Amino acid sequence: MHQPSRRRFLAGAGGGAAALALAACSNAPSSSAPAGSQSGGMKNFGVGTQFKAAEPLTFTIAMLSNPAYPYNANWPFFKYLKQITNVSFNPTVIPFADYNTKIAALVNGGQAPMIIPKVYPGEEDQYVAGGAILPVSDYVHLMPNFQDKVAKWNLAGDLDQRRQSNGKYYLLPSLLQSVWQDYSLATRADILDKLSIPTPGTWTGVQSMMLAMKHAYPHSYPLSDRFNQPTPGGNFLNILSAAYGTAAGWGYQVPSNGAYWDASSSAFVFAGSMPQYKAMVTFVNEMYNQGLIDPESFTQADTIALQKLTSGKSFVISDNAQGVVTDQAALPAGQTMVKLPLPAGPLGKTLAQNASGRINSGGGVMISSKALSSPNFTAMLQFIDWLYYSDAGQLFAKWGVQGVTYTGSVADGTFKLEPDVTWAGLNPAGTKKLNATYGFSNGVFSTYTGSTQLLDSQFPPAELDFQKGMASWGLSPLAPPAPLTTTQQQSATLTGNALMSTVQSQTLQFILGKRPLSQWDQYVSELNSQGASKFVSTYNQAYSTYKQQHG
């Protein structure tokens, strides 16, 4: 809570410096591709066209180095990319742990590389005022694959949420054909078998599952959860609140999440005081009183939670597809972890389509404003369009080269990694790592993005079942764009931070029974005296202003 505001402050200060630096340059950005920027690009670049630069090109790029597959200049990925597109990179290598800090320094210090990948929606906001980042929405006409996918997958509404108050967006987000749910709860399959508990599909099912576990093991707490950073009960409260139609946990980790779009009243309401929020808190409190939830569940460190699970003191834990694989390795022989289907709540099988449901998961690409003065500007956009948004580019970045790293084809479902190539639970015995050895499936170029078919090709059978189960879920309505002006943003962040910490602490008080639920109305009036209604009306005002100005 403290951190972002300080960073924002720094970014603002630096942004000013960057703006000055920009003003000093003679070439102010104009809104169409400048003359002479055609060098190296293709004349007839369209959907399905293989991009190949007319001359060898080198682009500067921010290269995140992931400790699981540290950046290696000799990755075959770069070699093949050069062969296919005639493009190579001049990277600024940045360690994963502090990627955003360095990006902030690079952008605000005027040293940003042209291509800045791995930027998550919302993170671009802080750079807008500085002018160092390109308003890319002005140039997407040069990116046919991007436009094609936005139209085909009906993503214009999602994209609108990224627009700033000037109506432009600054981030090329990763695009998903359908909302992709990775996180759920996981439990011990052997315990389910032993106690013959059916796999639950709803939250009440989860409750009765845990009651049965508590009955069989009275000294355990069935749920002892992890992922309590940066918000307590990060995943648990997130998926639970989504099932109730409100926001909590990871779903409410920045102040703006507090303004929740209520489709029934067509207005933003304050998440922490919604009746749905009260219903959710009541439900968790009930499970807590039944002894199903460890009192430390929402505050303990991840390692402690895992230790309780592996030593048999708890059975249920928040998890995702890859987490299940690692947890399994920590369990004694004979015990197996299984990811539960996402439990449905009062909303039924409806996935909360929050701020950026289908353009959220992989992180997107920002482009430095100074790229505009490069003679290769058009070529660069075409290249980005091909690598990040064309079917061929996404396939290449994810799985590599047919006959080298994989066989078969994703399109007809015969896709298989080569037997000695391993990646995230596929071919666990393989000796060559798809990412560390080859440089494919690298988060910088290949994110969790693309068609459902491409995504499904990456899942081991168990996860594929989970994802097939998700296919029957519907989506809740999308929030409309409500971009705040800089002044609105400042006051909203101040009030919003205070509100967020009140909601977080009081939620735990209610859940753990330290504050009786009979005091709920008092809690709501406390929120209002902290400015909850003014906070929400800022967003409603921004929403109506945007609607007037940009339709």
Partner 1 sequence: MVSEPAVTESSPARVARQLDRSKAAPRGPAGDQVPGRRRGTRRWPPPTRAYQAFRVINAIILSLVAVAVLFPFLNVLAQSFSSERYINAGQVSLWPRGLNVTTYEHVMSDPLFWNNYRNTVFYTVTATVVAMAVTTCYAYVLSKPHLRGRKVLIGIAVFTMFFNGGIIPNYVLVSFLHMRDTVWAIALPNAINVFNLLVMKSFFENMPPELEEAAAVDGMDTYRILWRIVLPLSKAVIATMTLFYAVMFWNSWFAAFLYMDNQGLFSVTVYLRNIVDSVTSVSNGQLAAGTQVQIAANIQAVTVVLVAIPILFIYPFIQRYFVSGVTLGAVKG
Per DSSP, the three-state class of 115 is strand
Closest approach, Cβ 264 to partner 1, in A, equals 26
Q: Which is nearer to partner 1, 267 or 436 (CB)?
A: 436
Question: Is residue 357 within the footprint of partner 1 (CB under 8 A)?
Answer: no
Q: Which of 2, 3, 44, 67 is in the footprint of partner 1 by CB under 8 A?
A: 67
Q: Which is nearer to partner 1, 174 or 506 (CB)?
A: 174
Looking only at residues 197 through 216 of this chain, which bind partner 1 when binding is defined by CB under 8 A?
A: none
CB of 360 to partner 1, least distance (A): 8
Instruction: Please state, in angstroms and rounded to a whole number, the distance separating the CA atoms of residues 216 and 225.
Output: 20
Tell me: does residue 102 bind partner 1 (CB under 8 A).
yes
Cα–Cα distance for residue pair 195/530, rounded to 1 Å: 48
Q: Which of 32, 322, 431, 519 binds partner 1 (CB under 8 A)?
A: 322
Q: Is 315 in the site for partner 1 (CB under 8 A)?
A: no
Alpha-carbon distance of 352 to 180, in angstroms, equals: 11
Q: Which of 5, 39, 88, 111 binds partner 1 (CB under 8 A)?
A: 111
**Cα separation of 43 and 330, whole Å?**
55
Taking the complex as a whole, the smallest distance from the CB of residue 503 to partner 1 amounts, in Å, to 18
At 149, is the secondary structure helix, strand, or coil? helix
Residue type for position 166:
N
Cβ(164)–Cβ(483) below 8 Å: yes
- 115-119/259-262 β-pairing: unpaired
Of 149 and 308, which has the nearer Cβ to partner 1? 308
- Residue 51 · residue 85 · CB < 8 Å: yes
Which helix (H) or strand (E) covers residue 475, if one does? strand 474-475
Considering only 149, 214, 226, 339, the residue that binds partner 1 (CB under 8 A) is 226
Count CA atoms within 13 Å of residue 47 on its CB side: 10
| 288-315: burial string, b at 16+ Cβ within 10 Å, e else | beebbbbeebbebeeeebbebbeeebbb
- To partner 1, the closest distance from the beta carbon of 467 in angstroms equals 14
Q: Does 329 contact partner 1 by CB under 8 A? A: yes
Contacts (Cβ under 8 Å, ≥6 apart) of 428: 422
Q: How far is the CB of 44 from partner 1 (least distance, A)?
A: 32
Nearest to 483 by CA among 160, 134, 131: 160
DSSP 8-state secondary structure symbol assigned to residue 197: P
Among 1, 5, 8, 10, binds partner 1 (CB under 8 A): 10
Near partner 1 by CB under 8 A, which window of 28-36, 165-173, 443-451, 529-537? 443-451
Which x/- pattern, by CB under 8 A, does the window 25-64 give for partner 1?
---------------------------------------x
Interface positions with partner 1 (CB under 8 A):
10-11, 13-14, 17, 64-68, 70-71, 92-93, 95-98, 101-102, 104-105, 108-111, 118, 120, 174, 182-183, 226-230, 234-235, 238, 250, 302-304, 306-307, 310-311, 320, 322, 326, 329-330, 332, 360-363, 424, 443, 447-448
